[in-house]
Structure 1
Amino acid sequence: MLFSPRLGWYVRLVVQDMYAHHYEMPRNTLPRGPAYLPHVLTSQKLQRPDQFREALRVTPATFDEMVKELTIDPVFSNNSQNAQLPVETQLAITLYRFGHNGNGASLQQIANWAGVGKGTIDLVTQRVMKAVLSRRFMEKAVPFPTVEEKQKAKAWVQSRSCKAWRDGWCLVDGTLIPLYDKPFWYGESYFDRKSNYSLNIQIVSLPNLQIIDYGFGFTGSTHDSTAWQKT
Protein backbone atom coordinates (compact mmCIF):
# COMPACT_ATOMS: atom_id res chain seq x y z
CA MET A 1 0.00 0.00 0.00
CA LEU A 2 1.36 3.39 -0.95
CA PHE A 3 1.01 6.36 1.41
CA SER A 4 0.57 9.86 0.13
CA PRO A 5 3.24 12.44 1.05
CA ARG A 6 0.60 14.39 2.90
CA LEU A 7 -0.16 11.42 5.19
CA GLY A 8 3.54 10.92 5.95
CA TRP A 9 3.86 14.60 6.77
CA TYR A 10 0.88 14.38 9.12
CA VAL A 11 2.33 11.30 10.92
CA ARG A 12 5.67 13.07 11.45
CA LEU A 13 3.84 16.12 12.78
CA VAL A 14 1.88 14.02 15.29
CA VAL A 15 5.02 12.18 16.46
CA GLN A 16 6.92 15.44 16.90
CA ASP A 17 4.05 16.92 18.88
CA MET A 18 3.91 13.81 21.09
CA TYR A 19 7.63 14.01 21.86
CA ALA A 20 7.37 17.71 22.51
CA HIS A 21 4.68 17.28 25.15
CA HIS A 22 5.51 13.71 26.34
CA TYR A 23 1.91 13.13 27.42
CA GLU A 24 -1.14 12.40 25.31
CA MET A 25 -3.61 12.73 28.19
CA PRO A 26 -4.05 15.87 30.31
CA ARG A 27 -2.18 15.82 33.63
CA ASN A 28 -4.15 16.48 36.78
CA THR A 29 -1.97 18.05 39.45
CA LEU A 30 -2.48 17.08 43.07
CA PRO A 31 -3.59 20.11 45.10
CA ARG A 32 -1.39 20.67 48.14
CA GLY A 33 -2.86 21.34 51.54
CA PRO A 34 -1.31 23.55 54.20
CA ALA A 35 2.09 22.27 55.36
CA TYR A 36 2.59 21.37 59.02
CA LEU A 37 6.37 21.94 58.94
CA PRO A 38 6.24 25.73 59.54
CA HIS A 39 4.17 25.13 62.69
CA VAL A 40 6.83 22.72 64.00
CA LEU A 41 9.69 25.16 63.35
CA THR A 42 7.90 28.11 64.95
CA SER A 43 5.19 27.40 67.50
CA GLN A 44 6.23 23.94 68.68
CA LYS A 45 9.91 24.80 68.77
CA LEU A 46 9.32 27.72 71.14
CA GLN A 47 6.23 26.71 73.07
CA ARG A 48 6.14 22.90 72.97
CA PRO A 49 9.69 21.52 72.72
CA ASP A 50 8.36 18.08 73.70
CA GLN A 51 6.24 17.93 70.54
CA PHE A 52 9.12 19.36 68.50
CA ARG A 53 11.31 16.50 69.70
CA GLU A 54 8.53 14.01 68.98
CA ALA A 55 8.43 15.17 65.36
CA LEU A 56 12.15 15.60 64.64
CA ARG A 57 13.72 13.35 67.32
CA VAL A 58 16.08 16.07 68.58
CA THR A 59 15.73 18.94 71.05
CA PRO A 60 15.40 22.52 69.74
CA ALA A 61 18.89 23.31 71.07
CA THR A 62 20.45 20.37 69.23
CA PHE A 63 18.54 21.31 66.08
CA ASP A 64 19.85 24.89 66.19
CA GLU A 65 23.43 23.67 66.67
CA MET A 66 23.11 21.35 63.68
CA VAL A 67 21.72 24.16 61.53
CA LYS A 68 24.60 26.41 62.59
CA GLU A 69 27.21 23.81 61.61
CA LEU A 70 25.55 22.69 58.40
CA THR A 71 24.86 26.18 57.01
CA ILE A 72 28.51 26.69 56.06
CA ASP A 73 28.72 23.47 54.06
CA PRO A 74 29.12 24.16 50.31
CA VAL A 75 26.43 21.61 49.44
CA PHE A 76 23.81 24.18 50.50
CA SER A 77 25.01 26.85 48.09
CA ASN A 78 24.82 26.95 44.30
CA ASN A 79 24.89 29.38 41.39
CA SER A 80 21.34 28.66 40.29
CA GLN A 81 18.77 31.40 39.98
CA ASN A 82 16.41 29.20 42.01
CA ALA A 83 17.46 29.45 45.64
CA GLN A 84 17.48 26.36 47.81
CA LEU A 85 15.14 25.86 50.72
CA PRO A 86 16.49 27.23 54.03
CA VAL A 87 18.92 24.85 55.71
CA GLU A 88 16.64 24.49 58.74
CA THR A 89 13.81 23.38 56.46
CA GLN A 90 16.00 20.84 54.67
CA LEU A 91 17.29 19.48 57.98
CA ALA A 92 13.78 19.27 59.45
CA ILE A 93 12.52 17.30 56.44
CA THR A 94 15.44 14.87 56.69
CA LEU A 95 15.06 14.35 60.45
CA TYR A 96 11.32 13.84 60.12
CA ARG A 97 11.91 11.27 57.38
CA PHE A 98 14.48 9.34 59.42
CA GLY A 99 12.26 9.43 62.48
CA HIS A 100 9.41 7.53 60.83
CA ASN A 101 8.97 4.17 59.16
CA GLY A 102 6.36 2.18 57.30
CA ASN A 103 3.57 4.18 55.70
CA GLY A 104 4.55 7.23 57.74
CA ALA A 105 7.89 7.37 55.91
CA SER A 106 6.45 7.32 52.39
CA LEU A 107 7.49 10.17 50.13
CA GLN A 108 3.90 11.30 49.72
CA GLN A 109 3.26 11.46 53.47
CA ILE A 110 6.45 13.45 54.08
CA ALA A 111 5.71 15.72 51.13
CA ASN A 112 2.25 16.44 52.56
CA TRP A 113 3.75 17.22 55.97
CA ALA A 114 6.44 19.49 54.55
CA GLY A 115 4.43 21.07 51.73
CA VAL A 116 6.96 20.21 49.00
CA GLY A 117 7.17 17.83 46.07
CA LYS A 118 8.21 14.20 46.44
CA GLY A 119 11.35 14.77 44.41
CA THR A 120 12.40 17.51 46.82
CA ILE A 121 12.36 15.02 49.72
CA ASP A 122 15.09 12.86 48.16
CA LEU A 123 17.06 15.92 47.07
CA VAL A 124 17.24 17.55 50.51
CA THR A 125 17.96 14.20 52.19
CA GLN A 126 21.00 13.69 49.95
CA ARG A 127 22.26 17.20 50.69
CA VAL A 128 21.89 16.86 54.46
CA MET A 129 23.54 13.43 54.57
CA LYS A 130 26.43 14.63 52.40
CA ALA A 131 27.00 17.50 54.83
CA VAL A 132 26.59 15.36 57.96
CA LEU A 133 29.03 12.70 56.71
CA SER A 134 31.68 15.24 55.76
CA ARG A 135 34.93 14.98 57.66
CA ARG A 136 34.63 18.50 59.04
CA PHE A 137 31.21 17.90 60.57
CA MET A 138 32.03 14.47 61.98
CA GLU A 139 35.21 15.69 63.66
CA LYS A 140 33.23 18.54 65.22
CA ALA A 141 30.25 16.41 66.26
CA VAL A 142 32.18 13.40 67.58
CA PRO A 143 35.43 14.73 69.10
CA PHE A 144 37.81 12.66 71.20
CA PRO A 145 37.66 13.65 74.90
CA THR A 146 40.01 16.20 76.38
CA VAL A 147 42.41 15.31 79.17
CA GLU A 148 40.01 16.80 81.72
CA GLU A 149 37.04 14.85 80.37
CA LYS A 150 39.10 11.68 80.40
CA GLN A 151 40.09 12.17 84.06
CA LYS A 152 36.45 12.79 85.02
CA ALA A 153 35.45 9.56 83.29
CA LYS A 154 38.17 7.63 85.14
CA ALA A 155 37.07 9.11 88.46
CA TRP A 156 33.48 8.09 87.75
CA VAL A 157 34.50 4.50 86.96
CA GLN A 158 36.58 4.31 90.12
CA SER A 159 33.78 5.66 92.31
CA ARG A 160 31.14 3.36 90.83
CA SER A 161 33.18 0.16 90.56
CA CYS A 162 36.69 -0.45 91.91
CA LYS A 163 40.13 1.17 91.66
CA ALA A 164 41.48 -1.58 89.42
CA TRP A 165 38.97 -0.66 86.72
CA ARG A 166 39.86 3.05 86.72
CA ASP A 167 41.54 2.90 83.30
CA GLY A 168 38.47 1.27 81.74
CA TRP A 169 36.84 4.65 81.13
CA CYS A 170 35.29 3.93 77.71
CA LEU A 171 31.96 2.20 77.17
CA VAL A 172 31.48 0.20 73.95
CA ASP A 173 28.25 -1.24 72.65
CA GLY A 174 26.81 -2.32 69.36
CA THR A 175 23.45 -1.17 68.05
CA LEU A 176 21.42 -2.40 65.10
CA ILE A 177 20.09 0.12 62.58
CA PRO A 178 17.04 -1.44 60.84
CA LEU A 179 16.82 -1.17 57.08
CA TYR A 180 13.60 -0.61 55.18
CA ASP A 181 14.00 -3.71 53.04
CA LYS A 182 16.37 -6.56 52.26
CA PRO A 183 19.40 -5.26 50.33
CA PHE A 184 19.79 -6.62 46.82
CA TRP A 185 23.42 -7.65 47.17
CA TYR A 186 24.17 -10.32 49.84
CA GLY A 187 20.87 -9.55 51.51
CA GLU A 188 20.99 -12.59 53.82
CA SER A 189 24.06 -11.25 55.62
CA TYR A 190 22.00 -8.26 56.83
CA PHE A 191 19.45 -10.49 58.63
CA ASP A 192 19.99 -10.05 62.38
CA ARG A 193 18.97 -11.90 65.54
CA LYS A 194 15.87 -9.72 65.84
CA SER A 195 14.59 -10.90 62.46
CA ASN A 196 15.28 -7.56 60.76
CA TYR A 197 17.62 -6.51 57.98
CA SER A 198 20.02 -4.08 59.59
CA LEU A 199 23.50 -2.59 59.96
CA ASN A 200 25.74 -3.17 62.98
CA ILE A 201 27.12 0.09 64.37
CA GLN A 202 29.71 0.15 67.20
CA ILE A 203 29.42 3.11 69.56
CA VAL A 204 32.19 4.23 71.95
CA SER A 205 31.13 6.65 74.67
CA LEU A 206 32.07 8.13 78.02
CA PRO A 207 30.15 7.17 81.18
CA ASN A 208 28.03 10.31 80.68
CA LEU A 209 26.96 8.82 77.29
CA GLN A 210 28.90 11.38 75.22
CA ILE A 211 29.84 9.59 71.99
CA ILE A 212 33.57 9.88 71.26
CA ASP A 213 34.02 7.35 68.45
CA TYR A 214 32.12 4.91 66.27
CA GLY A 215 32.62 2.05 63.87
CA PHE A 216 30.44 1.11 60.92
CA GLY A 217 30.42 -1.00 57.79
CA PHE A 218 29.23 -4.32 59.21
CA THR A 219 26.00 -6.13 58.45
CA GLY A 220 23.35 -6.99 61.03
CA SER A 221 24.40 -10.64 61.24
CA THR A 222 27.87 -9.65 62.47
CA HIS A 223 28.40 -10.34 66.18
CA ASP A 224 29.31 -7.32 68.33
CA SER A 225 32.63 -8.85 69.37
CA THR A 226 33.62 -9.48 65.75
CA ALA A 227 32.60 -5.97 64.68
CA TRP A 228 34.58 -4.49 67.59
CA GLN A 229 37.73 -6.50 66.83
CA LYS A 230 37.73 -5.23 63.25
CA THR A 231 37.25 -1.53 64.04
Structure 2
Amino acid sequence: MPRQTEREQAAEALFHAYMASLISESETCLDNPPSDSEDDTDTDSLASSSDSDSDEALEPMSGFYLDQLSTLYSRRYLADRSNTISKSTEDLTLLLQDWKISRPEIFRSYVRVSPSCFDAILAAIEDDPIFHNNSQNQQDPIDRQLAVTLHRLGHYGNAASTLKVALWAGVGYGTVRLYTNRVMVAVCRERFRRSALRWPDDATKEKAKQWVEEASCPAWRHGWLMVDGTLVPLFQRPGFYGNTWFDRKHNYSMNVQTKLISTPDLRIIDYGVGLPGSQHDATAWAETRIPQEHDLLLDENEWVWADSAYPLEKWCQAPYKKQV
Protein backbone atom coordinates (compact mmCIF):
# COMPACT_ATOMS: atom_id res chain seq x y z
CA MET A 1 0.00 0.00 0.00
CA PRO A 2 1.45 3.42 -0.91
CA ARG A 3 2.64 5.54 2.00
CA GLN A 4 0.30 8.41 2.93
CA THR A 5 1.61 11.92 3.37
CA GLU A 6 0.99 13.87 6.58
CA ARG A 7 -1.61 15.95 4.78
CA GLU A 8 -3.48 12.84 3.63
CA GLN A 9 -3.33 11.35 7.12
CA ALA A 10 -4.71 14.57 8.66
CA ALA A 11 -7.52 14.75 6.10
CA GLU A 12 -8.48 11.14 6.72
CA ALA A 13 -8.51 11.65 10.52
CA LEU A 14 -10.68 14.78 10.23
CA PHE A 15 -13.08 13.01 7.89
CA HIS A 16 -13.54 10.09 10.32
CA ALA A 17 -14.03 12.52 13.22
CA TYR A 18 -16.60 14.48 11.20
CA MET A 19 -18.58 11.35 10.34
CA ALA A 20 -18.50 10.14 13.97
CA SER A 21 -19.72 13.53 15.25
CA LEU A 22 -22.45 13.69 12.62
CA ILE A 23 -23.74 10.24 13.61
CA SER A 24 -23.59 11.11 17.31
CA GLU A 25 -25.50 14.38 16.83
CA SER A 26 -28.14 12.63 14.72
CA GLU A 27 -28.69 10.01 17.44
CA THR A 28 -28.97 12.77 20.07
CA CYS A 29 -31.66 14.56 18.06
CA LEU A 30 -33.61 11.32 17.71
CA ASP A 31 -33.43 10.57 21.46
CA ASN A 32 -34.41 14.14 22.53
CA PRO A 33 -37.09 15.50 20.18
CA PRO A 34 -38.51 19.00 20.96
CA SER A 35 -41.55 18.88 23.38
CA ASP A 36 -45.04 20.17 22.50
CA SER A 37 -45.18 22.37 25.61
CA GLU A 38 -42.54 24.61 24.14
CA ASP A 39 -45.08 25.74 21.53
CA ASP A 40 -47.37 27.18 24.28
CA THR A 41 -44.63 29.23 25.88
CA ASP A 42 -45.27 32.95 26.16
CA THR A 43 -43.69 34.98 23.34
CA ASP A 44 -41.95 37.38 25.74
CA SER A 45 -40.41 34.53 27.71
CA LEU A 46 -39.25 32.93 24.46
CA ALA A 47 -37.54 36.13 23.41
CA SER A 48 -35.78 36.56 26.75
CA SER A 49 -34.73 32.91 26.95
CA SER A 50 -33.47 32.85 23.34
CA ASP A 51 -31.02 35.63 24.14
CA SER A 52 -29.58 33.77 27.09
CA ASP A 53 -29.53 30.43 25.24
CA SER A 54 -27.71 31.91 22.24
CA ASP A 55 -24.80 32.88 24.47
CA GLU A 56 -24.58 29.41 25.93
CA ALA A 57 -25.24 27.46 22.69
CA LEU A 58 -22.23 25.57 21.36
CA GLU A 59 -21.42 24.94 17.73
CA PRO A 60 -21.87 21.26 16.80
CA MET A 61 -18.58 19.38 16.62
CA SER A 62 -19.42 18.17 13.11
CA GLY A 63 -19.41 21.78 11.93
CA PHE A 64 -16.01 22.31 13.59
CA TYR A 65 -14.48 19.29 11.83
CA LEU A 66 -16.05 20.38 8.55
CA ASP A 67 -14.45 23.81 8.89
CA GLN A 68 -11.08 22.20 9.61
CA LEU A 69 -11.39 20.02 6.52
CA SER A 70 -12.25 23.08 4.44
CA THR A 71 -9.21 24.91 5.79
CA LEU A 72 -6.97 21.91 5.12
CA TYR A 73 -8.08 21.54 1.49
CA SER A 74 -7.81 25.28 0.88
CA ARG A 75 -4.05 25.12 1.49
CA ARG A 76 -1.50 23.44 -0.75
CA TYR A 77 0.80 22.43 2.11
CA LEU A 78 0.04 21.22 5.63
CA ALA A 79 2.74 23.34 7.26
CA ASP A 80 3.97 26.78 6.30
CA ARG A 81 6.69 26.66 3.71
CA SER A 82 10.14 27.64 4.89
CA ASN A 83 12.27 30.18 3.13
CA THR A 84 13.43 29.22 -0.33
CA ILE A 85 16.82 27.53 -0.69
CA SER A 86 19.44 29.48 -2.58
CA LYS A 87 20.40 27.62 -5.75
CA SER A 88 22.51 28.44 -8.77
CA THR A 89 22.91 26.98 -12.26
CA GLU A 90 26.58 28.02 -12.43
CA ASP A 91 27.88 24.48 -11.85
CA LEU A 92 25.77 23.03 -14.67
CA THR A 93 26.73 25.86 -17.01
CA LEU A 94 30.40 25.42 -16.13
CA LEU A 95 30.15 21.69 -16.84
CA LEU A 96 28.58 22.11 -20.31
CA GLN A 97 30.41 25.20 -21.52
CA ASP A 98 33.87 24.92 -19.97
CA TRP A 99 34.80 21.51 -18.56
CA LYS A 100 33.28 19.68 -21.49
CA ILE A 101 35.83 21.37 -23.78
CA SER A 102 38.84 22.12 -21.60
CA ARG A 103 38.65 19.40 -18.94
CA PRO A 104 36.97 16.29 -20.40
CA GLU A 105 38.14 14.13 -17.47
CA ILE A 106 36.18 16.34 -15.05
CA PHE A 107 33.19 16.31 -17.38
CA ARG A 108 33.28 12.51 -17.48
CA SER A 109 33.47 12.26 -13.69
CA TYR A 110 30.14 14.09 -13.45
CA VAL A 111 28.12 12.48 -16.26
CA ARG A 112 30.04 9.16 -16.64
CA VAL A 113 30.45 9.53 -20.41
CA SER A 114 32.99 11.25 -22.62
CA PRO A 115 32.10 14.53 -24.38
CA SER A 116 31.88 12.75 -27.75
CA CYS A 117 29.55 10.09 -26.32
CA PHE A 118 27.45 12.82 -24.71
CA ASP A 119 27.10 14.59 -28.05
CA ALA A 120 26.16 11.32 -29.76
CA ILE A 121 23.41 10.61 -27.22
CA LEU A 122 22.19 14.19 -27.54
CA ALA A 123 22.02 13.93 -31.33
CA ALA A 124 20.04 10.68 -31.06
CA ILE A 125 17.34 12.06 -28.74
CA GLU A 126 17.08 15.76 -29.56
CA ASP A 127 14.35 15.22 -32.18
CA ASP A 128 12.20 13.11 -29.87
CA PRO A 129 8.70 14.61 -29.41
CA ILE A 130 8.99 14.31 -25.62
CA PHE A 131 11.24 17.39 -25.69
CA HIS A 132 8.89 19.49 -27.82
CA ASN A 133 5.46 20.86 -27.02
CA ASN A 134 3.09 23.65 -27.99
CA SER A 135 3.15 25.29 -24.56
CA GLN A 136 4.13 28.92 -24.13
CA ASN A 137 6.56 27.77 -21.43
CA GLN A 138 9.50 26.42 -23.36
CA GLN A 139 11.46 23.46 -21.99
CA ASP A 140 15.02 23.86 -20.80
CA PRO A 141 17.73 23.04 -23.37
CA ILE A 142 17.99 19.31 -24.02
CA ASP A 143 21.71 19.19 -23.21
CA ARG A 144 20.97 20.45 -19.69
CA GLN A 145 18.23 17.85 -19.23
CA LEU A 146 20.56 15.10 -20.45
CA ALA A 147 23.43 16.26 -18.23
CA VAL A 148 21.25 16.29 -15.12
CA THR A 149 19.86 12.83 -15.95
CA LEU A 150 23.29 11.30 -16.60
CA HIS A 151 24.65 12.86 -13.41
CA ARG A 152 21.80 11.28 -11.45
CA LEU A 153 22.14 7.88 -13.12
CA GLY A 154 25.91 7.88 -12.66
CA HIS A 155 25.72 8.12 -8.88
CA TYR A 156 24.07 6.11 -6.14
CA GLY A 157 22.89 6.51 -2.56
CA ASN A 158 22.47 10.06 -1.27
CA ALA A 159 24.46 11.47 -4.18
CA ALA A 160 21.70 10.33 -6.55
CA SER A 161 18.86 11.79 -4.49
CA THR A 162 16.74 14.50 -6.06
CA LEU A 163 17.81 16.87 -3.28
CA LYS A 164 21.54 16.61 -4.02
CA VAL A 165 21.08 16.65 -7.79
CA ALA A 166 18.70 19.61 -7.65
CA LEU A 167 21.07 21.64 -5.47
CA TRP A 168 23.99 20.86 -7.79
CA ALA A 169 22.09 21.74 -10.98
CA GLY A 170 20.22 24.71 -9.54
CA VAL A 171 16.76 23.38 -10.42
CA GLY A 172 13.71 22.22 -8.50
CA TYR A 173 13.33 18.77 -6.99
CA GLY A 174 10.42 17.95 -9.28
CA THR A 175 12.38 19.26 -12.26
CA VAL A 176 15.04 16.59 -11.69
CA ARG A 177 12.39 13.87 -11.91
CA LEU A 178 10.88 15.53 -14.99
CA TYR A 179 14.26 15.66 -16.75
CA THR A 180 14.93 12.01 -15.91
CA ASN A 181 11.53 10.84 -17.11
CA ARG A 182 11.85 12.69 -20.42
CA VAL A 183 15.32 11.35 -21.18
CA MET A 184 14.38 7.78 -20.25
CA VAL A 185 11.28 7.92 -22.47
CA ALA A 186 13.47 9.02 -25.40
CA VAL A 187 16.15 6.41 -24.68
CA CYS A 188 13.65 3.55 -24.45
CA ARG A 189 12.13 4.23 -27.84
CA GLU A 190 12.91 1.92 -30.74
CA ARG A 191 14.26 4.82 -32.81
CA PHE A 192 17.00 5.45 -30.26
CA ARG A 193 18.06 1.81 -30.23
CA ARG A 194 18.20 1.72 -34.01
CA SER A 195 20.28 4.92 -34.11
CA ALA A 196 22.64 3.91 -31.31
CA LEU A 197 23.23 0.29 -32.35
CA ARG A 198 23.81 -0.85 -35.89
CA TRP A 199 24.11 -4.34 -37.28
CA PRO A 200 27.75 -4.97 -38.28
CA ASP A 201 28.77 -4.87 -41.92
CA ASP A 202 30.39 -7.75 -43.79
CA ALA A 203 33.92 -6.61 -42.99
CA THR A 204 33.24 -6.49 -39.26
CA LYS A 205 31.54 -9.89 -39.35
CA GLU A 206 34.47 -11.43 -41.21
CA LYS A 207 36.91 -9.99 -38.68
CA ALA A 208 34.84 -11.52 -35.86
CA LYS A 209 34.72 -14.89 -37.60
CA GLN A 210 38.50 -14.88 -38.08
CA TRP A 211 38.99 -14.21 -34.40
CA VAL A 212 36.64 -17.07 -33.46
CA GLU A 213 38.44 -19.43 -35.81
CA GLU A 214 41.85 -18.52 -34.40
CA ALA A 215 40.66 -18.75 -30.79
CA SER A 216 38.73 -22.04 -31.20
CA CYS A 217 38.49 -24.09 -34.39
CA PRO A 218 37.45 -23.62 -38.05
CA ALA A 219 34.14 -25.41 -37.51
CA TRP A 220 33.03 -22.73 -35.06
CA ARG A 221 33.94 -19.66 -37.12
CA HIS A 222 30.31 -18.94 -38.02
CA GLY A 223 29.33 -18.69 -34.36
CA TRP A 224 30.48 -15.08 -34.07
CA LEU A 225 27.69 -13.88 -31.72
CA MET A 226 27.12 -14.41 -28.02
CA VAL A 227 24.08 -13.63 -25.87
CA ASP A 228 23.52 -13.57 -22.15
CA GLY A 229 21.17 -12.03 -19.65
CA THR A 230 22.13 -9.57 -16.93
CA LEU A 231 20.11 -8.79 -13.81
CA VAL A 232 20.33 -5.07 -13.07
CA PRO A 233 19.45 -4.51 -9.38
CA LEU A 234 16.86 -1.85 -8.55
CA PHE A 235 17.43 0.39 -5.54
CA GLN A 236 14.01 -0.42 -4.08
CA ARG A 237 10.90 -2.50 -4.63
CA PRO A 238 8.83 -0.99 -7.48
CA GLY A 239 5.48 0.44 -6.46
CA PHE A 240 3.48 -1.40 -9.13
CA TYR A 241 3.55 -5.21 -9.21
CA GLY A 242 6.63 -5.16 -7.02
CA ASN A 243 6.76 -8.92 -6.43
CA THR A 244 7.21 -9.62 -10.14
CA TRP A 245 10.59 -7.87 -10.03
CA PHE A 246 11.92 -10.21 -7.32
CA ASP A 247 14.52 -12.49 -8.92
CA ARG A 248 16.10 -15.82 -7.99
CA LYS A 249 18.99 -13.99 -6.31
CA HIS A 250 16.60 -12.37 -3.84
CA ASN A 251 16.91 -8.91 -5.37
CA TYR A 252 14.48 -6.61 -7.14
CA SER A 253 15.94 -6.33 -10.60
CA MET A 254 15.39 -5.89 -14.34
CA ASN A 255 16.33 -8.52 -16.89
CA VAL A 256 18.59 -7.05 -19.60
CA GLN A 257 19.47 -9.16 -22.63
CA THR A 258 22.66 -8.19 -24.45
CA LYS A 259 24.23 -9.55 -27.62
CA LEU A 260 27.95 -9.08 -28.22
CA ILE A 261 30.11 -9.43 -31.26
CA SER A 262 32.67 -12.08 -30.44
CA THR A 263 35.70 -9.87 -31.04
CA PRO A 264 38.32 -8.70 -28.54
CA ASP A 265 36.48 -5.40 -28.00
CA LEU A 266 33.14 -7.18 -27.25
CA ARG A 267 31.03 -4.47 -28.87
CA ILE A 268 27.30 -4.59 -28.04
CA ILE A 269 25.13 -4.73 -31.16
CA ASP A 270 21.68 -5.23 -29.64
CA TYR A 271 19.88 -5.31 -26.30
CA GLY A 272 16.47 -5.87 -24.79
CA VAL A 273 15.16 -4.22 -21.62
CA GLY A 274 11.89 -3.83 -19.76
CA LEU A 275 11.11 -7.27 -18.39
CA PRO A 276 11.35 -7.90 -14.63
CA GLY A 277 14.15 -9.96 -13.11
CA SER A 278 11.77 -12.81 -12.34
CA GLN A 279 11.41 -13.53 -16.06
CA HIS A 280 13.45 -16.40 -17.47
CA ASP A 281 16.28 -15.53 -19.86
CA ALA A 282 14.55 -17.48 -22.62
CA THR A 283 11.42 -15.34 -22.25
CA ALA A 284 13.39 -12.08 -22.32
CA TRP A 285 15.45 -13.37 -25.26
CA ALA A 286 12.28 -13.93 -27.30
CA GLU A 287 11.52 -10.19 -27.11
CA THR A 288 14.79 -9.15 -28.77
CA ARG A 289 15.61 -8.67 -32.42
CA ILE A 290 17.48 -11.84 -33.43
CA PRO A 291 14.76 -14.37 -32.43
CA GLN A 292 12.22 -12.31 -34.36
CA GLU A 293 14.38 -11.47 -37.41
CA HIS A 294 17.03 -14.21 -37.45
CA ASP A 295 16.21 -15.17 -41.02
CA LEU A 296 17.02 -11.61 -42.14
CA LEU A 297 20.02 -10.92 -39.89
CA LEU A 298 21.89 -14.22 -39.99
CA ASP A 299 23.14 -16.26 -42.90
CA GLU A 300 22.06 -19.87 -43.20
CA ASN A 301 25.24 -21.21 -41.55
CA GLU A 302 25.57 -18.57 -38.79
CA TRP A 303 24.44 -18.97 -35.20
CA VAL A 304 24.50 -17.36 -31.76
CA TRP A 305 26.30 -18.88 -28.77
CA ALA A 306 24.19 -19.09 -25.61
CA ASP A 307 24.08 -21.01 -22.36
CA SER A 308 21.72 -23.82 -21.44
CA ALA A 309 18.97 -21.40 -20.38
CA TYR A 310 18.20 -20.56 -24.00
CA PRO A 311 16.18 -22.68 -26.43
CA LEU A 312 18.24 -24.77 -28.79
CA GLU A 313 17.73 -23.74 -32.42
CA LYS A 314 19.71 -24.04 -35.62
CA TRP A 315 20.63 -20.37 -35.24
CA CYS A 316 21.07 -20.56 -31.43
CA GLN A 317 23.55 -23.12 -30.11
CA ALA A 318 23.84 -23.83 -26.39
CA PRO A 319 27.00 -25.70 -25.29
CA TYR A 320 26.38 -28.82 -23.19
CA LYS A 321 22.78 -29.00 -24.46
CA LYS A 322 21.94 -31.97 -26.64
CA GLN A 323 19.85 -31.73 -29.76
CA VAL A 324 16.65 -33.76 -29.39
How far 1:93 moved relative to its partner?
0.9
In structure 2, do the counterparts of structure 1 residues 179 and 164 end up closer, same or farther at CA, with 3 Å as the change threshold?
same
Q: 1:33 aligns with which of 60, 84, 87?
A: 87
- Take 1:225 and 1:122, find their aligned partners in 2: how far apart are those partners? 33
- Take 2:256 and 2:80, find their aligned partners in 1: how far apart are those partners? 49
How far 1:57 moved relative to its partner?
1.4
**Considering only aligned residues, what root-mean-square deviation do their CA atoms show, in Å?**
3.2
- 1:59 aligns to what? 114
- 1:148 aligns to what? 203
Q: Deviations over 1:20-41 (max 9, x none)?
A: 6545864223322334222222
Q: 1:201 aligns with which of 256, 259, 268?
A: 256
Q: Residue type of the partner of 1:33? A: K
Contact 1:154 1:167 in 2 (8 A): yes
- 1:190 aligns to what? 246
Q: Residue type of the partner of 1:159? A: E
- 1:83 aligns to what? 138
- Greater Cα offset, 21-30 or 79-88: 21-30
- Take 2:188 and 2:159, find their aligned partners in 1: how far apart are those partners? 25
In structure 2, do the counterparts of structure 1 residues 162 and 87 end up closer, same or farther at CA, with 3 Å as the change threshold?
same
Instruction: Choose between structure 1 and 2 for higher RCO, CA contacts under 8 A separated by at least 6 residues.
Output: 1
Higher Cα Rg: structure 1 or 2?
A: 2
- Greater Cα offset, 219-228 or 13-22: 13-22
Q: Deviations over 1:37-58 (max 9, x none)?
A: 2222222211222222221111
In structure 2, do the counterparts of structure 1 residues 226 and 83 end up closer, same or farther at CA, with 3 Å as the change threshold?
closer
- Take 1:31 and 1:44, find their aligned partners in 2: how far apart are those partners? 26
1:153-172 map, 5 Å? 153-172=208-227
In structure 2, do the counterparts of structure 1 residues 101 and 192 end up closer, same or farther at CA, with 3 Å as the change threshold?
farther
Q: Residue type of the partner of 1:141? A: A
- 2:189 aligns to what? 134
- Take 2:211 and 2:84, find their aligned partners in 1: how far apart are those partners? 58
How far 1:14 moved relative to its partner?
10
How far 1:110 moved relative to its partner?
0.8
Contact 2:226 2:259 in 1 (8 A): yes
Tell me, what secondary structure is at the counterpart of 2:269?
A: strand
Contact 2:245 2:253 in 1 (8 A): no
Contact 1:192 1:198 in 2 (8 A): no
Q: Deviations over 1:94-152 (max 9, x none)?
A: 11111111111111011011110011111111111111112211111122222222222
Tell me, what secondary structure is at the counterpart of 2:259?
A: strand
Tell me, what secondary structure is at the counterpart of 1:100?
A: coil
How many residue pairs match? The answer is 224
Tell me, what secondary structure is at the counterpart of 2:204?
A: helix
- 2:11 aligns to what? none
Q: Residue type of the partner of 1:34? A: S
In structure 2, do the counterparts of structure 1 residues 189 and 15 end up closer, same or farther at CA, with 3 Å as the change threshold?
closer
Percentage identity across paired residues of the two chains: 43
Tell me, what secondary structure is at the counterpart of 2:251?
A: coil
